[in-house]
Structure 1
Amino acid sequence: MREDDASWDEDVRLAVYHAFADHGRAPTAPELADAAGGSLAVAKQALHRLADAHHLVLDDCEHVVLAHPFAARPLGFSVMGAHTLWWGGCAWDSFAIPHLVEDEPEVLVATRCPGCGQPHALVVNRAAPPEGAQVAHFLVPVARMWDDVLHTCANQRLFCCESCVDAWLAETGQDKGCVLDLVTLWRLARGWYEGRLERGYRRREPGTAAAYFAEAGLAGPFWAATAGV
């Protein structure tokens, strides 16, 4: 990759993330072209390199589907701030948005329990975890999260309680992953995407990811990373 390619990549990455953070949507074609010196073709090349590096996810039409913690389409969570409405990519991402977007320190996260369909709405802010008996269930271990990231995100959901998790697993025939209470989920989300809206952001390597997970109270084989996350 040429040095100018790397420069375009970072400009395009920032255009993607700021479109989501500021407007709750993916960047338009003109916005992408502007970030790549006026060339949409150069921008699309940068998008593919960014997808290969796991900075974002593209669909078959080269549209940005995910730029964690933001999603371009409904994946089970709406996240409403004072000024912006987002689709959250998953429970983890939905709790992360108020920590990342400076002008939105508090949001309303809305979803439904996959086990029983009960609606849930939680106020999530930077000051303290939300109160509640709900739990998050993560189906896919960290080492396999990018094998099919849309499947991973679709299966990081909030449930009424662990009994609803067990009922849903029995109905779907899937093995149990990791269950987190709201406090642990909030700690996981709090600083995970720190710096993602800034130039020069780097994804965590396995060692630093493991240390971060441990600080949030998460350890063991499920949380063992084998590549950058």
Structure 2
Amino acid sequence: MDAEVSERAQTDIERVRVEVYRSYAEQGHPPSRPAIEAATRLSPAEVEHALTTLAETRHVVLDDDGRIIMAHPFASIDLHFSVKGTHTLWWGGCAWDAFAIPHLVPGEHEVLVATTCAACGTPHAYVVGTAEPPAGDEVAHFLVPAAHSWDDVVHTCSNQRIFCTEKCVDDWLAATGNERGSVFDLATLWRLAAHWYEGRLDSPYVRREPSEAKAYFAQVGLKGAFWGLEE
């Protein structure tokens, strides 16, 4: 009986996860608690348990009031990236997430990603599609090493930014007192985003093991201890 209950609970949790992702993908924002209850036919207590479990297992991010604020690559708070599709406007969770959305959402083969340089405030906009990286000489800078990305995931995501040049990165580091993280070009950012979130709109979704994540990072051209890789 306990095994049956556990299996049923896992099924309910997965149903809630899919509903959260479906709402973000189709509407650009997370579903309300009543909407989840209506879609899944679960009780308020069951929905609350599912969301808590999903947060604990890093499928969604809840704020201190229990509101859903992220389900990567989607966000419902401003983390410096807007993503405009044909019919939907999303907040991208970071540079990585913003570039990932067209690869994940069905029918959105190109989106307009808008942001500003974290150092000088210069606006940047890119048509990001699924066929090839966008043009641009700007660079991405990720502050928090991959192994610590979930220590404070909102802090991590808010510091995965695009800069005009490496000089802007250096200026920002000097102004903020932060240490240099990982710097790479837009083509590498696009490759990183392209397949990272595959399957998140499907069910069941199985997250990559750490060894698989490292292999993916190496495959897209990332190097060094920041990514858990050799130089």
Aligned match of 1:86: 90
SS of equivalent to 2:140: strand
Q: Shift in Å at residue 203 of structure 1?
A: 1.1
Query: Matches of 2:73 and 2:38 in 1, distance apart?
Result: 23
Letter in 2 for 1:86: W
Query: Matches of 1:219 and 1:164 in 2, distance apart?
Result: 22
Aligned match of 1:50: 54
Aligned match of 1:155: 159
Query: Matches of 1:82 and 1:90 in 2, distance apart?
Result: 20
- Unaligned 5+ residue runs, structure 1? none
CA RMSD of aligned residues (A): 1.1
Matched, 1:118 2:122: yes
Matched, 1:59 2:63: yes
TM (norm. structure 2) is 0.95
Q: Shift in Å at residue 24 of structure 1?
A: 0.3
- After superposition, what is the alpha-carbon deviation per residue over 1:50-95, rounded to whole angstroms, capped at 9, x for unaligned? 1111001001111111100000111100000111100000000000
Aligned match of 2:27: 23
Aligned match of 1:217: 221
Aligned match of 2:77: 73
TM (norm. structure 1) is 0.96
4+ runs deviating over 6 angstroms: none
SS of equivalent to 1:74: coil
Query: Matches of 1:75 and 1:40 in 2, distance apart?
Result: 29
Query: Matches of 1:66 and 1:178 in 2, distance apart?
Result: 23
Query: Matches of 1:34 and 1:180 in 2, distance apart?
Result: 44
Q: Shift in Å at residue 35 of structure 1?
A: 4.0
For structure 1, which segment, 150-159 or 34-43, has the greater mean C-alpha deviation from structure 2 after superposition?
A: 34-43
